[in-house]
């Protein structure tokens, strides 16, 4: 078969992104316009501003993705767009752009689950490695913490997930408590580099007998410690708090993921989503895992459109057809529906 080129668009949260990807693995272009700086002054994503910023940026981002890939719309075989989960007002901007392009080109348009995109970020991330199934995937982002068993391509069994805060959300909230700013993950990681992981005994919610997670108790424990120290008029040992908090998150994520991989007879482990950019998490899981671990390179961990194109390629290969009148699905689960 000749090369399959897909133009993918991603606008589920605060990144406006477009990419052209060949055969699901070769990134011809990957343009990401981040709004993080704009949202930083609010301490988190401001949904109304996010969608309006997507409207301002999307056209340029798509044009740039085509130009950098040195292709025109005529060279494409399919279009892909994130259909959900995400912010409703943000999702519809990408979907509308994709539908407009579809009218102009008559190409197939493939609606992709954002979490599926994160899972598939590993394929363009390692173009020369083929992850082995069954595969245990940990998707850790700002909105999700999911343990998923994949027996083959596009086949997802959800083993468990967070009952409250997502791992990335916990990083963001604790960063706010420690006055580190937004987005919290990279700031906590940086602070933690100079801190002691054993200074504070923060709780781990093991939720044994399930593959679920819970991070709200950990966040509350950090809050309690911050308040206690402030009441005593002491300076916050921010680095130690960040390191001890990060250690609690990494410990639970790594231990449960590797246990699930063993119980389910997985042959490889995959970690993806914004939090997979975390250095401590990456190092620990590689160190502890008896199985090969695939984690995307940093530029594919946080939201991007290359991963959406990579997932779309698998649907394209399978010959899936997608209706063109689809709507955004802000709460779309990866498995089950």
| Interacting residues with Zn ion (CB under 5 A) | 141, 303
CA gap 122, 170 in Å, rounded:
24
3-state secondary structure of 91: helix
Position 316 contacts ligand KG4 (CB under 6 A): no
Taking the complex as a whole, the smallest distance from the CB of residue 189 to ligand KG4 amounts, in Å, to 4
Nearer to ligand KG4, 42 or 100 (CB): 42
Position 184 contacts ligand KG4 (CB under 6 A): yes
Taking the complex as a whole, the smallest distance from the CB of residue 170 to ligand KG4 amounts, in Å, to 8
Position 277 contacts ligand KG4 (CB under 6 A): yes
Nearer to ligand KG4, 268 or 278 (CB): 278
Q: What token pair was written down for 328?
A: 């955004």
Position 274 contacts ligand KG4 (CB under 6 A): yes
Nearer to ligand KG4, 264 or 279 (CB): 279
Position 296 contacts ligand KG4 (CB under 6 A): no
Q: Which of 80, 303, 308, 310 binds ligand KG4 (CB under 6 A)?
A: 303
Position 245 contacts ligand KG4 (CB under 6 A): no
- Find the part of the chain contacting ligand KG4 (CB under 6 A) among 150-158, 182-190, 202-210, 235-243: 182-190
Q: Which of 6, 7, 13, 178 binds ligand KG4 (CB under 6 A)?
A: 13
DSSP string, 280-320: HHHHHHHHH-SS-EE---GGGTSS-SHHHHHHHHHHHHHT-
Which residues have C-beta within 8 Å of that of residue 321, sequence separation ≥ 6?
Answer: 108
Where do the DSSP E strands lie in the chain? 5-10, 15-22, 26-34, 78-84, 109-113, 135-140, 145-150, 157-161, 268-272, 293-294
Taking the complex as a whole, the smallest distance from the CB of residue 269 to ligand KG4 amounts, in Å, to 18
The answer to whether 149 and 201 have CB atoms below 8 angstroms apart is no
Nearer to ligand KG4, 88 or 134 (CB): 88
For 12, counting Cβ atoms within 10 Å of its Cβ (0-12 exposed, 13-18 middle, 19+ buried), the class is buried
Q: What token pair was written down for 52?
A: 């309006």
Q: Where are the alpha helices (DSSP H) in 141-237?
A: 167-177, 184-193, 216-231
Position 124 contacts ligand KG4 (CB under 6 A): no
How far does Cα 330 stand from its chain's mean position? Answer: 15
Spell out, one character per residue from 137 to 176, where the chain touches ligand KG4: x when CB under 6 A holds, - when not: ----xxx------------------------xx-xx----
Number of residues that bind ligand KG4 (CB under 6 A): 20
Phi and psi for 205 in degrees, rounded to 5? -95, 100
Nearer to Zn ion, 34 or 105 (CB): 34
The answer to whether 268 and 292 have CB atoms below 8 angstroms apart is yes
Nearer to ligand KG4, 94 or 183 (CB): 183
Position 302 contacts ligand KG4 (CB under 6 A): yes
Position 84 contacts ligand KG4 (CB under 6 A): no
Position 183 contacts ligand KG4 (CB under 6 A): yes
CA gap 223, 209 in Å, rounded:
28
Which residues have C-beta within 8 Å of that of residue 288, sequence separation ≥ 6?
Answer: 254, 258
Which of ligand KG4, Zn ion, none binds 172 (CB below 5-8 Å, type-dependent)?
ligand KG4
Taking the complex as a whole, the smallest distance from the CB of residue 184 to ligand KG4 amounts, in Å, to 5
Interface residue list for ligand KG4 (CB under 6 A): 13, 141-143, 168-169, 171-172, 183-186, 189, 273-275, 277-278, 302-303
């Amino acid at each position: 078969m000749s090369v399959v080129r897909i133009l993918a668009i991603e606008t589920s949260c605060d990144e406006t992104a477009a990419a052209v990807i060949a055969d699901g693995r070769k990134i011809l272009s990957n343009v990401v316009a981040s709004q993080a700086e704009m949202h930083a002054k609010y301490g988190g994503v401001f949904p109304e501003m996010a969608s309006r910023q997507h409207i301002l940026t999307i056209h340029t981002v798509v044009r740039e993705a085509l130009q950098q890939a040195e292709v025109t719309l005529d060279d494409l075989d399919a279009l892909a767009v994130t259909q959900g989960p995400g912010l409703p007002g943000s999702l519809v901007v990408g979907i509308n752009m994709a539908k407009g392009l579809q009218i102009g080109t008559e190409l197939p348009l493939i609606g992709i689950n954002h979490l599926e995109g994160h899972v598939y970020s590993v394929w363009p991330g390692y173009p020369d490695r083929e992850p082995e199934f069954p595969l245990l995937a940990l998707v850790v982002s700002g909105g999700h913490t999911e343990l998923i068993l994949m027996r083959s391509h596009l086949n997802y069994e959800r083993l468990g997930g967070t009952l409250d805060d997502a791992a990335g959300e916990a990083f963001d909230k604790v960063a706010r408590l420690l006055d580190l700013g937004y987005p919290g993950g990279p700031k906590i990681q940086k602070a933690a580099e100079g801190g002691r992981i054993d200074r504070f005994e923060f709780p781990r919610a093991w939720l044994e007998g399930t593959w679920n997670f819970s991070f709200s108790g950990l966040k509350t424990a950090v809050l309690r410690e911050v308040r206690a120290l402030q009441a005593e008029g002491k300076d916050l040992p921010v680095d130690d708090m960040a390191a001890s908090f990060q250690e609690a998150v990494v410990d639970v994520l790594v231990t449960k993921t590797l246990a699930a991989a063993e119980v389910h007879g997985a042959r490889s482990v995959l970690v993806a989503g914004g939090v997979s950019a975390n250095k401590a998490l990456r190092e620990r899981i590689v160190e502890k895992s008896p199985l090969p671990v695939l984690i995307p390179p940093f530029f594919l961990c946080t939201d991007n459109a290359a991963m959406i194109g990579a997932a779309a390629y698998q649907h394209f290969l399978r010959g899936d057809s997608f209706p063109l009148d689809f709507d955004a699905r802000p709460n779309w689960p990866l498995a089950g529906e």
